[in-house]
Chain A
């Protein structure tokens, strides 16, 4: 029997092992473990939270675009004729103001129609005095001092009637709504951050557990000259496999949930809710969430294994 041939002596500094080789160093399990499913659920939650946050942002943006660059002027006068004259005078005064782009005196019929749901047929009677309303669109969102200027211009125009008008900046009464929407967006962001943290924690626990389960194999690989990078790569493949599976399942679950919620909200047929639809960029962001989840899992897995390896010589 001839003696075995041996390969040439290896130079120090190892190139990485081939993927298929490193994959075999840890036993591969089916997706029966909890981690891929935990990642799937967490990714689905992030997708739902992100879709909700993006929808709220769109809703707020649309509302702001529609309403924030406008004011409503209200003239309270019991006498209908005088009220009409005063409204016209106020409209003229406002039309001359440089901040104003358009002025529309809301017709009395339209006001009556708006009030009818609350006042019934009595809204049309002379018994209930209805204030005159003027919709004023501005070149931009007015500051408090500019609103005060508009107010003084109106006061000057109506001085001869002995009455005054009230200017309601829509941005000011919408402010609590915007604040509520912003709070909900922050809530969605916080939820995303928490779920991302939970994902990282789950991967950390899984990587630690895998490392301790295979510590004997890791030690053998180390003693045979395996580097930290090679060992880390072996575990990263395992993490990548689990995370990718979880991400795909999570994406599907999340998209189903978002689609169902979208259908429910669309059924409300409300103008304001309609402004909360998701655009192409929003879908791109949602589509990037699983990728982000996989990256987060990979980075967490890498850091975990690197730290665990430091405890070995």
Chain B
């Protein structure tokens, strides 16, 4: 009897070692630095290999022609993407699909390993809380102060008010708006509103940060500073960043970034960001993503 139990236990240990070995072997390809240990392996197996996966997605508004057609791509955790394209190419429509403001007319979208098409709308808030969005027209709540606007994602997720106070104060100081904390949006300049919108988007440490022309209304110094904040989130927290922009100069400011280009609702892939398996540049970018998301920026 004791022999049978011992043999069974040995088999389990062998299977686990084989599994651990496989995890350690594939980890670098998934962009996770190998730190060793079964616990890390378990953590890695919990994480999706892709954070966003579009498959043959099309979008039309009403009976109009499709504004997005045949979009198939995969975004990897911890990568930094720029989405470029001329006005009317469909950048904002694609971002709307990404920040779950719109369902596609066809195709499938998986995010965080879950099918967003079949997920009931009651499940969407949980996914939305993992996103940070900088809207093109900021979309600040007009009667709330800058402080309350930035605090909104934290309050919606039930964060303790003391933590909200600290985090929002720090964030407003960082974007240079401490002195405007109690100002309502209509009294803020375009650039200030944009900084409030960015602060609101990043305050809850999103897994994916989606920004629609985030530096359009700020001076070059502030644009660079905000971009560094996105990079810091990307590097230290592992946030996947997607920035839609017209500004070609901005693309050069983040050297490891990947570029998705939209042309008339269709996607081209100049840096190989969207191919699977990821191209060397894409793998390099995704390798930045750490395992742990604990700790501040």
Q: Knowing that A9-B204, A14-B158 touch, tell me 5 more A-B residue pairs with CB under 8 angstroms.
A: A10-B204, A14-B157, A219-B139, A223-B100, A313-B103
Partner of B125, one of A15, A17, A225: A225
- Which residues of chain B have C-beta atoms less than 8 A from A225's C-beta? 125-126, 128-129, 131, 153, 156-157
**CB pair A217 B141 closer than 8 Å:** yes
- Counting chain B residues whose Cβ lies within 8 A of the other chain, the interface size class is 35 or more
Residue interface mask B126-165, A partner, CB < 8 A = 1: 1011010100000111111000100011111111010110
> B290 to chain A: closest CB distance in Å?
13
What total of chain A residues lie within 8 Å of the partner, measured CB to CB?
37
Residues A5 and B124 in contact, CB atoms below 8 Å apart:
no
A88 and B52 alpha carbons, distance in the complex (Å) = 105
Is A227 on the interface with B (CB-CB < 8 A)?
yes
Indicate if the CB atoms of B296 and A3 lie closer than 8 Å: yes
CA distance A21 to B158 in the complex (A): 11
Top 6 closest pairs, chain A to chain B, by CB: A225-B129, A15-B158, A4-B170, A10-B157, A12-B126, A225-B128
- A72 close to chain B: CB less than 8 A: no
A1 within 8 A of B: yes
Whole-angstrom distance between the Cβ of A26 and the nearest chain B Cβ: 8
Residues B128 and A223 in contact, CB atoms below 8 Å apart: yes
A25 CB within 8 Å of chain B: yes
Q: Is B167 an interface residue (CB 8 A)?
A: yes
Q: Mark A1-33, 1 if CB is under 8 A from B, else 0.
A: 111111111101111111001001111000000
- A27 and B126 form a contact (CB under 8 A): no
B126 to chain A, nearest CB (A): 4
Contacts of B154 on A, CB cut-off 8 Å? 7, 10
A181 within 8 A of B: no
Which of the listed residues A4, A10, A17, A217 has the most CB atoms from chain B within 10 Å of its own CB?
A4
A25→B170 contact, CB < 8 A:
no
Contact string against A for B residues 191-213, beta-carbon threshold 8 Å, 1 for contact and 0 otherwise: 00000000010111100000000
A-B contact pairs, 26 of them (CB 8 A): A4-B170, A4-B297, A6-B167, A6-B203, A7-B203, A7-B204, A7-B205, A9-B294, A10-B157, A10-B158, A15-B158, A16-B158, A17-B158, A24-B148, A27-B143, A216-B139, A220-B139, A223-B100, A224-B153, A224-B156, A224-B200, A225-B126, A225-B131, A225-B153, A228-B122, A313-B124
Alpha-carbon distance between A24 and B126 when the two chains are bound, in angstroms: 23
A223, B158: Cβ atoms closer than 8 Å: no
Q: Do residues A221 and B158 form an inter-chain contact, with CB atoms below 8 A? A: no
Q: How far is the CB of B119 from chain A (nearest CB, A)?
A: 11
- A to B contact number (C-beta, < 8 Å): 122
Nearest Cβ in chain B — how far from A41, in angstroms? 30
B156 surroundings in chain A (CB, below 8 A):
14, 17, 221, 224-226, 230
Q: In the complex, A10→B296 CA distance in Å?
A: 14
User: Smallest CB-CB separation from A10: which chain B residue?
Assistant: B157
- How near does chain B come to A112, taking the closest CB pair, in angstroms? 82
Residue A222 is within 8 A (CB to CB) of chain B in the complex? yes
Q: Are the C-beta atoms of A313 and B125 separated by less than 8 Å? A: no
Q: Residue-by-residue, is B272-297 near A (CB-CB < 8 Å gives 1, otherwise 0)?
A: 00000000000000000000011011
- Given the complex, which residues of B lie within 8 Å of A8, measured CB to CB? 163, 205, 294
Residues 25-64 of chain A: 1 if any B CB is under 8 Å from the residue's CB, otherwise 0? 1110000000000000000000000000000000000000
A220-B141, A225-B156 known; A313 vs B167 contact (CB < 8 Å): no
Note all chain A residues with C-beta closer than 8 A to B182. none
B residues near A (Cβ < 8 Å) are 99-103, 121-122, 124-126, 128-129, 131, 133, 139-144, 148, 152-159, 161, 163-164, 166-167, 170-171, 173-174, 200, 202-205, 229, 232, 237, 293-294, 296-297
B142 CB to closest chain A CB (Å) equals: 8
Using Cβ atoms and an 8 Å threshold, which residues of chain B touch A313?
A: 100-103, 121, 124
Q: B141 — which chain A residues lie within 8 A by C-beta?
A: 25, 217, 220-221
- Complex Cα spacing A220 to B99, Å: 12
CA distance A13 to B167 in the complex (A): 21
In the bound assembly, the distance between CA atoms of A150 and B209 in angstroms comes to 94
Contact of B161 among A14, A16, A18, A227 (CB under 8 A): A18
Shortest Cβ distance from residue A219 to the other chain B in the assembled complex, whole angstroms? 8
Q: A219 CA to B133 CA in the complex, in Å?
A: 13
Q: How far does the alpha carbon of A3 sit from the alpha carbon of B297 in the complex, in Å?
A: 6
A24: B residues at CB distance < 8 A? 144, 148
Which residues of B sit under 8 angstroms from A17, Cβ to Cβ? Answer: 155-156, 158
Most B C-beta atoms less than 10 A away, residue of A3, A13, A25, A228: A3
For residue A222, give the distance in angstroms from its CB to the closest CB of chain B.
7
B142: A residues at CB distance < 8 A:
217
A3 and B229 within 8 A (CB): yes
Contacts of A25 in B (CB 8 A): 141, 144
Cα separation A162 to B173 with both chains bound (whole Å): 114
Q: A10-B159, A17-B158 are in contact. Are A5 and B296 (CB under 8 A)?
A: yes
**Residue in chain A with minimal CB distance to B199:** A4
Cβ-closest chain B residue relative to A230: B156
Note all chain B residues with C-beta closer than 8 A to A223. 99-101, 128, 133, 139
Closest B residue, CB atoms, query A216: B139
A1 touching B139 in the complex, CB below 8 Å, given contacts A6-B297, A223-B101, A224-B156: no
Given contacts A226-B156, A228-B122, contact A5 B166 (CB under 8 A): yes
B139 touches A9 (CB 8 A): no
Please, which residues of chain B bring their CB within 8 A of the CB of A224?
Answer: 128-129, 133, 152-153, 156, 200
CB neighbors of B among A220-266 (8 A): 220-228, 230
